């Protein structure tokens, strides 16, 4: 005979006489019904492997077959040896209210963000090549200071890495959403000044759309210290 499952309230009828105790136990022990079940382990394996493999491709910058195979093998090995930790983190996230649908949505939007970032890298490469090959080398090194309203740490770090991956700009400092960016020439940072890159990343991580940031141009270390 199949064992009948019971609800939280039925399992804790003994505490019904004490409403405060029942409420405290409910807050402490309740786990959302959306916790990973049949798809739990496979979902965590596929998700971790996908994240590691994408980062390999982005950071290696090599897309020949042998490097892709090496990246896939490396991502698979790391996933095999560390998936228990990753799986536990996902379960904990479910308990804290992080929905699986939102995770997949962010992954999909991040995949769509990659072609846009690659296009910016190509365009910046052309601009930097022009500056370097120009007889007068019209370079105007300058520091750009601005603040983002994105609250998630992963969103802020993704922005910092995207800036560094784009030739001509590099993230010098990131602290509490405040950025210091070095650029070879102000036009190379136009995407940041207009807020385009920030909003692309904000959309990936389900953050609110940002207005154009208030920026400050600094031309010397003395100005930076002020």
Q: Are residues 85 and 145 in the same domain?
A: no
Residue 53 lies in a domain: yes
Query: Could you tell me the pLDDT band of residue 153, with boundaries at 50, 70 and 90?
Result: confident
Considering 98, 129, 158, which residue would you say is the last residue of a domain? 98
**What pLDDT score does 128 carry?**
92
Q: Full-prediction pTM beyond 0.85?
A: no
Residue 4 lies in a domain: no
Q: Are residues 141 and 209 in the same domain?
A: yes
SS3 145: strand
Task: Tell me the CATH number at 144.
Answer: 3.30.70.1290
C-alpha distances out from residue 140 to 48, 107, 192, Å: 42, 37, 17
Q: Are residues 16 and 90 in the same domain?
A: yes
Considering 67, 83, 98, which residue would you say is the last residue of a domain? 98
- Which of 153, 196, 193 shows the shortest CA–CA distance to 174? 153
pLDDT digits (tens, 9 = 90+) for 171-213: 999 998 999 999 999 999 999 999 999 999 999 998 988 888 9
Residue 160 lies in a domain: yes
Query: What is the per-residue DSSP string for 156-215?
Result: HHHHHHHHHHSTTEEEEEEETTEEEEEESSGGGGHHHHTTHHHHHHHHHTTPPPP-PPP-
Residue 105 lies in a domain: no
| Cβ proximity of 75 and 52 under 8 Å | yes
Residue 186 lies in a domain: yes
Residue 76 is given by DSSP the state H
Residue percentage of the chain with pLDDT more than 70: 77
SS3 143: strand
Residue 220 is given by DSSP the state S
Q: Are residues 143 and 215 in the same domain?
A: yes
pLDDT digits (tens, 9 = 90+) for 101-132: 777 788 889 989 999 999 999 999 999 999 88
Q: What's the mean per-residue pLDDT of the chain?
A: 79
Q: Are residues 154 and 216 in the same domain?
A: yes
**What pLDDT score does 43 carry?**
77
Residue 214 lies in a domain: yes
**What pLDDT score does 5 carry?**
45
Indicate the range of 49-58, 64-73, 82-91 predicted with least confidence: 82-91
Q: Are residues 76 and 141 in the same domain?
A: no
> Residues 75-85: what's their mean pLDDT?
87
Q: What is the number of structural domains in the chain?
A: 2
* CA–CA distance, 52 with 56 (Å, rounded to integer): 6
Side-by-side strand order, sheet with 216-218: 169-175, 178-183, 142-147, 216-218
Residue 106 lies in a domain: no
Residue percentage of the chain with pLDDT more than 90: 35
Q: Are residues 166 and 91 in the same domain?
A: no
SS3 88: helix
Q: Are residues 141 and 94 in the same domain?
A: no
Considering 46, 69, 98, which residue would you say is the last residue of a domain? 98
Instruction: Tell me the residue range of the domain where 27 lies.
Output: 10-98
Residue 202 lies in a domain: yes
What are 204's two structure tokens? Answer: 């990936």
C-alpha distances out from residue 196 to 84, 159, 174, Å: 37, 11, 18
Indicate the range of 28-32, 44-48, 116-120, 166-170 predicted with least confidence: 28-32
Q: Are residues 84 and 145 in the same domain?
A: no
């Amino acid at each position: 005979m199949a064992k009948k499952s019971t609800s939280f309230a039925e399992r804790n009828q003994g505490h019904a006489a004490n409403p405060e105790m029942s409420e405290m136990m409910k807050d402490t022990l309740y786990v959302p019904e959306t916790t990973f079940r049949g798809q739990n382990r496979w979902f965590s394996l596929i998700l971790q492997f996908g994240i590691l493999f994408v980062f390999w491709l982005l950071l290696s910058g090599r897309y020949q077959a042998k490097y892709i195979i090496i990246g896939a093998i490396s991502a698979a090995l790391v996933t095999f040896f560390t998936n228990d930790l990753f799986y536990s983190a996902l379960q904990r996230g479910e308990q804290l209210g992080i929905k699986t649908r939102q995770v997949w949505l962010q992954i999909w939007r991040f995949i769509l963000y990659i072609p846009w970032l690659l296009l910016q890298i190509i365009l910046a490469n052309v601009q930097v090549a022009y500056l370097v090959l120009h007889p007068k080398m019209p370079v105007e090194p300058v520091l750009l200071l601005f603040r983002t309203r994105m609250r998630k740490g992963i969103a802020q770090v993704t922005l910092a890495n995207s800036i560094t991956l784009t030739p001509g700009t590099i993230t010098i400092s990131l602290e509490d959403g405040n950025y210091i960016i070095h650029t070879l020439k102000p036009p190379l940072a136009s995407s940041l000044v207009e807020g385009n890159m920030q909003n692309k990343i904000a959309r990936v991580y389900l953050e609110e759309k940002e207005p154009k940031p208030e920026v400050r141009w600094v031309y010397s270390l003395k100005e930076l210290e002020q």
